[in-house]
Structure formats: structure tokens, C-alpha cells
Amino acid sequence: MVLQITDAYVQYGASVMAVQGCTLHVDEGELVSLIGQNGAGKSTLVKAVMGMVPLHRGSVTFDGAPVTHRSFSTVRNRISYVPEDRGVFASLSVGENLRLGGITRKDKRALAADIERELERFPVLAKYWSRGASLLSGGEQQQLAIARGLLLNPRLLLLDEPTLGLAPIIVDLIFDVVAQLRADGMTILLVEQNAVRSLEISDRSYVLQAPGRVLGSGTPAELGAVPAVVDYLGFSPADVEVSR
Amino acid sequence: MILEFLVSAIGLGALYALLTIGVALLFGVLGLMNFAYGEILMAAAFAMYLMRDQPWPLAVVVAVALGVGVAVVSEKLAFHPLRGADPVTLMIASFAVSLAIQSVARMSFLPRAQGVSPEPFLSQRISLAGAEVSVLDLLTLGLCGSALVAVAFLMGRTSLGIQLRAAAENFQMARNLGVKPDLVIPAAFVVVGVLAAISAVVLVARQGAVSAEMGLQPMLIGVVGAVLGGMTSLKGAALGGFLLGAATTLLEAVLPTDLIAFRDAVLFSALIVVLVVRPQGLLSGAKVRVS
Amino acid sequence: MNGLGSVIRGVQTPVLLVGLVLVPAVVGSLGDVTLTRVATLALISVVFVVGLSVFSGTSGVMSFGHVAFMAVGAYTTAYLTIPVNLKQALFSSLPEPLAWLADVQSGFGVAVLVSGLAAGLIAVVTSPVVARLSGLQSGIATLALLMIVNNVLSSWTDVTRGSSSMIGIPQATTTWTAFGVAAAAIVVAWLYRRSRSGLQLQASREDYWAAEASGISVGRHRAIAWVLSGMLCGIAGSLYAAFLTSFNVNGFFLTATFAFLVMIVLGGYLSLSGAVIGALLVSTLQEVLRRLQDGQFTGGSALPAGVADLVLAAVLLVVLVKAPFGIMGVRELAVLRRPRATGAETPGDDDGVGDGGDDGAVHSARSDAPAPVAGR
């Protein structure tokens, strides 16, 4: 088990307990989706995984070791986090942003090869290599953020709402990339509002309702058997055509 | 005449740009509006006084060492324990550090202002392209210009520079990518120490004196330049400082003396206006850092 | 008994604080000249820090520029009370439109009031700025205000004597005058904090946007606090001028700002009691350090000047690191605390909240943040 969250309670800001008792896990090589509407607590949960916010109660374990607010080092544990706002550095160029992704790697030659690999995966980045990242469109920035995250060769890739606000063509591209990454063996936790597409490509999914409560989990067929899930989503996951 | 003015203006611009980068860098990486920046400068300036009978290059080296030393010590003692505190707390702390360093200076080395007679070569004037340019202005331009180029190289081409710029823009995200705070924060202070030292060398040459309170004006200039230029982008801040210096030279040449005395009032009024109307600064395109 | 209890809870803080400042007043009136001076200055500091707290404590926004108001008050009082013939000698080259200033003369009481109003005027003019800014930007802006006022006062030599000292102010501040004004300032600050505007402003401290969203116009209330606090600090300046009989523009600059900063941070910048306690503590500390420096305790050998500043700086740093909300935190002085509600599950809601009256829309404003109404 790469990631284990047990009965987590996480606070958002000063006053709101955004996650109240969430339990989930991600196994090696799985693509697991966290599906839910805005405000369900998905992003807060992810931040707790990253050690960016403290856990009020419960535990988060990564590769067997507990994650705490103070002692977590993402790089030591090789989690790549692509946040909702993408976290692209506007004052740096595309190339510099990518270099940052590999800043902790010692193996320079392998890093160079990996950068080439990402440029092949996302040709637009090669095109804009020396351009300031602030000049990229939302979709291009998203690709940059993902590419940058992949340069860590992470054990776990955390994608927080990667397709939010993007044009349909880019949404397709992103989901294709994620599916391909899964096929290549990467362990991914995908947080999404786009339930259908997520269900299509994931091994398992959790459906979350505010505050961070797991309504149902499992394959689309298993989820379809939970009436609360069908209610919440407005459709039955069992009807989704899983493409793998 | 024009050439003379240009050298003077660009030189002062470069000096102010250095001051501004020093302020903006710490603000970007740490959220620290460093009141004590002037005292780092003063420490380096004091080295120039201490070594006034030694060869000038040696004095400069000692100045840099002292500037970096004070900067790093202030980080260890005062700002490290406050890491993560909100910007206002940090600013108040820097106020305390500033006063502490000034007190130490006043108690020990600088109870009164000390004169540092300028090196003889500085008061000469050289013929350049048919104009008479003062060596002092050339020195200002040369030293500060080189420092700016060096900073640009550091920031643009080295791994440390990229990490510093990233941390200055979004510290949390930089951390997520593996940038070590215990590397970039002291590194930022070291850079600031070096910049302050070079500014100090130039200022001592220009003013011919060292005093415990001499750091206030440069620090304020750095703050004004950084706010006007934009604190979220080092380039914007540097540009802001540069324009401030050039404009100051222009105004001093043009305005009657009794109006010049009110320069600070005008500058700070402009600063307030910019803060209210365009807090990200006049030259930066980025979003303002939420304080 | 309950009725009496709640009456006591309602007024205990200002009463206790006035009692507290009575101590230096008594000490000052009984002691020698030095002690009188220290006590009176301490009381004037109380007026200033209480004034500062009216703004910074209620809005949560720290101001670095309030000494500017003090300066305005001092200069106004100087102009109003220096005897006319001396004025005409001191200000021989007043510009035409201001020439009438040389002939103005008033009593001390009027001077104090007008000084407060003059400072208040500057506050009104600058209030749109503080209404809009928060946090660090406000800190920088208020610092800029101090710089502007200092620059103008130092450079407008014809009117202000520039960097020469202002002299010849008739001494009118006594220890008991200072006490009276300090007590009045405490009461005014207390009433303001419990007023509708004050409570709404405190509600915005925890969460600006939540407050705005529930209809509180934070900017307007900040402006009100700013003007009131400016007036109080102007009055402090007036008392100061009329006590020392002379002053210099550099006395209203960074050193003074720093000393007041230590006072309000040590005491606790969010609390009115903190302001008073901080002012008294630091004033005492400053006197002790002065005597130490003069060699009073070390058997005659004087310490280098600057030790006092160093100690104050160290104190400030320690407080910032260990207890950034100061001695009082958000609490007020009280002897009768609210009876603890049983089973109430508000994390961190210790006996600090809601004491001595309900300016506790404050601390754990978690669930209460936007509640502007007094009393719960």
C-alpha cells in the first residue's frame, strides 16, 4: 500500500472541519480517483497527504511511514503534487520550471533524458521552452505542471483537479495522459469533479461528499450498487464505459 | 554635459537598483520587510572605515565579509525562530534587530560619525568622449553595474538562482518540489549581505563618512523602490529602484534646493498611492502577495 | 446577585485599569523630581499606547506611524501656548498665509483639545488609506506616513524650526493632569471597543472577508478607529509638549516609535489592558535601564549608552518569538470572570473570552466571526 489515510479529520482555515473521518488507500500501480463536488473536502485531504496542513485526528501513512505536518519531505518520499492552481512559477520560463522539477535529482544525465521524454509527451512545452510561464494558457500551464511533477519519478502522483476550467480538447489530452501514465505503471491519486471521465480510466474510485465523507468506493460497477452514490452523482457509475 | 549627467544618473540608478533588490529578495523569499537591511549595510560600511589605511580592494573584501556575517547572524538569531510568522511580525522583529545593531555600533565602534577620506583617485575627473566625467560616478556605475550583472547571472543561470526566484514567488510550492528552506533562506541572506556591502562601498566613497544611523536612508530607498517597482518580481523591483535613482538625479539637477528637501515626503506619498491603487507595483505584472 | 455580577463584569476592566494608572500618579506626586518626571511620562505613554490600541487593537492592523499624530499634537500645542512675543522671535519668517499663527494664544485646556482635533484632521485625511489596506501593506503605508510628517516637519523650517528644537512651551502638564487624561483615554477606548462600530471592527480581525460578507463595512469602521486613535495620540503629544516645555522633531521618529512598539507588543496589542500594562511596564523598565546605565546599581561604573536600547530590542524579539500576543493576549483585566458554560465545545475557548463584558467577539471568533451584535 503506497498511501493509507485512516479516519482523517482535517481543518480548513480557522473554523471549518472540512474532512471528518475519511478512510481510503491507494495501492501500487493503481489509478484511484477522488470524485466529488466543490467543497467536498478533496483538496483539503490532499493537502493533508502532503503535510501542508496538520491532521486534527486520524493518520496518513505513505509507504508505511506516517506523514506529519512538520516532518514531511515530499522529495524524500517522492510524492509529486500538482495543485489546483497548478503552482507554475510565473516569473520563471518553461525550461526553468522544468529544471525545478528535477532540482533534487543527482543523476543529471537521466534527468536530461527524462526532460526529453516529457517534451515528447507535451510538445507544446518544447515549443515554449524559453517563454515565461505566465504567458502560457491554462491548459499549457497544466501540462507544464504535470511534466514538472513527473520529473521527480515519483512513487505517487497527486493530481488536484487537473482539468478544471480547461477547454474540452485539453481535457481529453490530460485524461489521455493520465491513462497512459497508469498504463506505464505509475501510482496516481486523481482528484476530480469530472466524474465520468475519471471513472472511465480509474482502477478504483472514491465518491466523497462534504465533509470528506466516503459515500462509496470501488470499481464503477461496485459504485453503481450504492444508491447514495447514484443519487449524489446524478447517474449510475455502472453505466460508465470503462476504457482500459 | 549630457554624458556626465547620464553617467551620474545611470550610476545612481544602478546603486538604487542594488538597494532595491536587497529588500525585494528577502521580502519575496521570507515575507520579510527587513528594517535591518540598513544595518547590514552599515556594518559593511564600518569595515571600510576600519580598513581605511589598508589597500582599497582588501577593504572591500572585509566589507563583504562583514556584511554577509551580520546578515547571516541576524537570520540565525532573529529570523530563523520566527520562520512562518506573518509579515508584520517579521517587520517588527526586523525593527528590533535594526535598533540592536545600531546600539551595538554606537556603544562600541561608532559613537559618532567617522570620516572616511575618499581615496585620492576618486576625486579626479577623466576625459571621456570629450566630456569630463568624475571617477566617483564611474566607480558607482562600474561597481553597481557589475553587481547587477552578477545578480542577474546568479538568478538566471544557476540552480540556486532558480530556486531563489521560485521561493520568492511561491515558497510553499517551491518546498513541495524539494527546494530546501534551510538552503534558500540563508542563501538569500548571503546574497543580500553581498549586495548591501557593495552598496556600502559605493556610499562610503560618495559620502565620505560612516555613522551608526547611516543605514536608514538606503533601507528606505530600497523599500520605496521595491514597492514602486513591484515586490513580487525581482526584475520589476530592480527596475523600480533604477528608475528611482535616475529620477532622483534628474530632480536634483532640476529642482530648486528648498523643494528638494521635501523629496522624501513626495516619495512616500507616491508610495502610499501605489500601495492603495496598484499594490503589485507599477512595473510588475504579477499578482500581489497576500499579507 | 446575578445582576450585580453582570454590572461588575461590565465595568471592571476600565475601573481596574484606572486603578492601575493611579499608582504612577501617586508615586509621581509623592516622589522626588526624577520620579515625578518618570511617572508623568509613563502616564503620557499610557495615553499614547491606549490611543494606538484603539486602532491596532480593534482592527488587528499594526500601525507604525502613530507617532506622527503625537508630533502634530505637540507642534499644535506649541503654537497655541508659546507666549506671543517669544513666538514672534522664534518664527520670524512665517509665510504670509500663516502669519496669523504668530499672534494666536490660548490656554492649556483649549490647546489640548485643538491639538487632538488637529491630529484628528490628519487622521481623517489619511483614513481612506487605512480603510483599504491590511497587514504588511498597511504597516508600510503607516510607516510612510511617519516619514512624510517627519520630512515636512524637519524641512519646513520657517514654520516648524526644522531640526532645531521647539522651545518655550509653558509647562502645564502635571502628574494629575496626565492621570486625568490617561483615565479619560482608558474610558473612551473602553467605550469605543464596546460600541457597535468597535465590535464590528473586532469581528473583522479574525476573518476580513467573512465580516465583509455579512455586511460589515470594515473600511468605514477602520477609518473611525483610525481617527479616534489619531486624536488620542495627538492629545498625548500635547501633554508631552506641555510637560517637557521643549521638544525636537527627531523625538517623534523611529526611536519613539520603537519604544511604543515594545510597549504595545509586550502588553499585548489586541488588548486594551495590554496597552496600559505594556506602557507602564516598559516605562518602568526604561527608567531602571537608565539608572543602570548611569551606574546607579553597579556601584558607580556607567554602562555604555545604548545598553537600554539593546535590552528593549532583546525584550521585543523574545516576546515576538515566545508570545506574539503579549502578556495579555486578547484578555482584559478582570476579577470576575464569566461563569463557564458547560458542554460548550469551542476549542481554545479558555477563560479569556467574553470576560469583563463582551469585547470577546474576538478571540475564538471561529463560529462567531461575523456576529456583530454585542452580548451573546
What are residue C63's phi and psi, to 5 degrees? -110, 135
What average pLDDT does the structure give for chain B? Answer: 86
Q: How far is C5 from chain B (nearest CA, A)?
A: 38
HSE toward the beta carbon, residue B110, CA cutoff 13 A: 26
Asked if A43 has any chain B CB less than 8 Å from its own CB, the reply is no
Mean pLDDT of A203-216: 88
Is there a contact between A91 and B163 if contact means CB atoms under 8 Å apart?
no
Tell me which fold the domain A1-78+157-162+187-244 belongs to: Rossmann fold (3.40.50)
Q: Is residue A74 within 8 angstroms of chain B, CB to CB? A: yes
More confident residue, A107 or B125: A107
CB B226 within 8 A of CB B276: no
Q: Is B290 on the interface with A (CB under 8 A)?
A: no
Query: For residue A158, what is its C-alpha cell?
Result: 497527486
Q: What pLDDT is attached to residue A99?
A: 92
pLDDT value at position C347?
Answer: 39
CA pair distance B186, B178, nearest whole angstrom: 16
Of A152-161, B45-54, C43-52, C253-262, least confident by mean pLDDT is B45-54
Which residues in A lie closer than 8 A to residue B162 (C-beta atoms)?
92, 96, 99-100, 103
| Neighbouring subunits of B (3+ Cβ pairs under 8 A) | A, C
A22-26 contacts, C-beta under 8 A, 24 or more apart: A22/A58, A22/A208, A22/A212, A22/A213, A22/A214, A23/A214, A24/A206, A24/A214, A24/A217, A25/A1, A26/A1, A26/A2, A26/A156, A26/A187, A26/A189
User: Range with the lowest mean pLDDT among A33-42, A198-207, B191-200, C110-119?
Assistant: A33-42
User: Where exactly are the structural domains of chain C?
Assistant: 12-253
Question: Rounded to 5 degrees, what are φ and ψ at C82?
Answer: -65, 130
Residue B79 DSSP one-character state: I
Q: How far is CA C267 from CA B90, C277, C328, in A?
A: 18, 6, 6
Q: What is the ipTM of this complex?
A: 0.89
C201-225 in b/e burial notation, b at 16+ Cβ within 10 A? bbbbbbbbebbeeeebebbebbbbb
What is the spatial distance between Cα B242 and Cα B226, in angstroms, rounded to a whole number?
Answer: 10
Question: What pLDDT tens digit does each residue of chain C (376 aa) get?
Answer: 567 877 777 788 898 899 999 999 998 888 888 899 999 999 999 999 999 999 999 998 999 999 999 999 999 999 899 888 888 888 888 887 887 777 788 888 899 999 999 999 999 999 999 998 888 889 999 999 999 999 999 998 888 888 888 888 888 888 999 999 999 999 999 999 999 999 989 888 877 777 878 877 888 999 999 999 999 999 999 999 999 999 999 999 999 999 999 999 999 999 999 999 999 999 999 998 888 877 776 666 667 778 888 999 999 999 999 988 999 888 888 887 776 655 443 333 333 333 333 333 333 333 322 322 222 2
In chain A, what are the domain boundaries?
A: 1-78+157-162+187-244
Q: How many angstroms separate the CA of residue B175 from the nearest CA in chain A? A: 8
- Is the per-residue pLDDT at B194 higher than 70? yes
Ramachandran quadrant class, C299 (left: phi over 0; alpha: psi -120 to 50; beta: rest): left
What's the confidence (pLDDT) of residue C8?
A: 79
Is residue A129 predicted with pLDDT exceeding 70?
yes
- CA-closest candidate to residue C23, choices C41, C8, C44, C43: C43
- Cell, residue B22: 536587497
**B224 with B241: CB under 8 angstroms?**
no
Class of domain B2-277: mainly alpha
Please list every residue in chain A whose beta carbon sits closer than 8 Å to the beta carbon of residue B176: 50, 52, 74, 81, 83, 87
What are the extents of the domains in chain B? 2-277
For A38-96, the DSSP string reads TTSSHHHHHHHHTTSS-EEEEEEEETTEEP-TTT--HHHHTEEEE-TTTT--TTSBHHH
- Tell whether the model's pLDDT for residue A37 goes beyond 90: no
- The whole-angstrom distance between B179's CA and the closest CA on chain A is 7
Query: For position B84, what pLDDT does the model report?
Result: 79
For B70-110, write each residue's pLDDT tens digit: 999 999 999 999 987 888 999 999 999 999 999 888 888 77
Chain C residues with CB under 8 Å of B217 CB are none
Contact B179 A52 (CB under 8 A): no
